[in-house]
Amino acid sequence: MSSTPDSAPLLKTPLHDLHVRLGARMVPFAGYSMPVQYPAGLMAEHRHCRDSAALFDVSHMGQLRLVGADAAAALETLVPMDVIDLAAGRQRYAFFTNVSGGLLDDLMIGHPTAAAKAAGFGDLFLVVNAGCKDADLLHLATNIGHRCQVVGMPERALLALQGPLAAQALSRLNPGVAALTFMTGDVFTLAGMPCFVTRSGYTGEDGFEISVPEAFAVTLAEMLLAQPEVQPAGLGARDTLRLEAGMCLYGHDIDQTTSPIEAGLAWAIQKVRRPGGAREGGYPGADVIAAHLAGGAPSKRVGLVGLERVPVREGTPIVDAHGHQLGTVCSGTLAPTVNQPIAMAYLPLNHALPQHEVYAEVRGRRLPMRVSPMPFNPHRYHR
């Protein structure tokens, strides 16, 4: 969990008092007081999400809308994604790049349906990371604010209902959500209010992210927690779940110094935006990323599985058989579902080969780890 300077008062999400009432242990994260775990504990919350349905408060994330007929074309000048052709009702993973091909932030882009636009979600609806949202708003306003309106939506909370029984639970509140498939979304009435619901998430499981007016967030959360499948889960379980799913955490696994190709995110760049595509380039760092796509990336994010049952945490050096440092662990844990130590690290290409053995230096010991495909735990999205 990240820390916040003592001089900066922690912000609270609309669900803060509910977390306290449920017995959550609160910690500073991205400037907010957030629940890291509840009395059941991280392991129980992790397993409940894999087996049933877990409710996460992710209201610290940034929500914003772009308004204007030119919004999609404008946004394409800042991201290497196909935004123009994104169909109404669809969502897409994306990232802002800088001039050196690094990542300023990763985000979700939604193209609202006519009903969602009428409900105030704009021509594009974006969800960005909590620690980057102020910088992202400024980045958008500075670079494309003359082409479309950039409107922050701090009046909305964001809930994530994740797990194989999430659809079963949420359908009791509105049966229409069951028609959504992975990476689609629309407006549905929940707790008597229009909510923007997408079938997506950060755990590798089926599930939903729900944008709800902050005044109704507690009511909706309590309605969801009243469902027999649903238990609350904190940031601790969210982190172990996303790591098992092989997903990046901004500021840890990706940052302004890593290119999306090094990060293994080339899949997110559609053909139309790649070299030779109809709308290639035209975004910051396009030349660097094109060179990396052609094989010029110096390193690669890989999954590592420990051959001994010792957790390998962020910051641990990774070395070769001769003790030469190859890289550093960016995320690592003893994975509850996989039941093995897992980690992610950036390694030179000649060491990033499947089943290649490297070593983690932990408290004076050199622990063997094997390069492993990701995700560590299979994704179970509803497609």
The DSSP output letter for 126 is: E
Going from the first residue of the chain to its last (383 residues), give the mean pLDDT of each consecutive group of 10, the final group possibly shorter.
59 98 97 98 98 98 98 98 98 98 98 97 98 98 98 98 98 98 98 96 98 98 98 98 98 98 98 98 98 96 97 97 97 96 97 97 96 98 97
74 and 144 in contact (C-beta within 8 Å)?
A: yes
How many CB atoms neighbour CB 182 within 10 A? Answer: 16
In order of start, what are the domains of the chain with their CATH numbers? 1-297 (3.30.1360.120), 299-377 (2.40.30.110)
Distance spanning both ends of the chain, measured CA to CA = 32
Angle at 183 between CA 161 and CA 30, to 5 degrees: 55
Task: Using the structure block, give the residue that is written with the tokens 């601790």.
Answer: 236
Residue 139 CA, distance from chain mean position? 20
Residue 212: what pLDDT?
98
Cβ neighbours of residue 35 under 8 Å, at least 6 residues apart?
19, 22, 24, 25, 26, 27, 57, 232, 234, 235
Residue 4: what pLDDT?
41
Buried b (16+ CB within 10 A) or exposed e, 277-311: eebeeebbbbebbbebbeeebebbbbbbbbeeeeb
Could you tell me which of 129, 130, 117 has the C-alpha nearest to residue 66? 117
* Pairing outcome for strands 230-232 and 317-319: unpaired
Residue 8: what pLDDT?
77
SS3 per residue for 143-192? HHCCCCEEEECCCEEEEEEECCCHHHHHHCCCHHHHHCCCCEEEEEEECC
Cβ neighbours of residue 62 under 8 Å, at least 6 residues apart?
126, 127, 128, 129, 130, 132, 133, 134, 136, 137, 152
Cβ neighbours of residue 21 under 8 Å, at least 6 residues apart?
none
Tokens standing for residue 255: 């940052």
Instruction: List beta partners, residue 193.
Output: 190
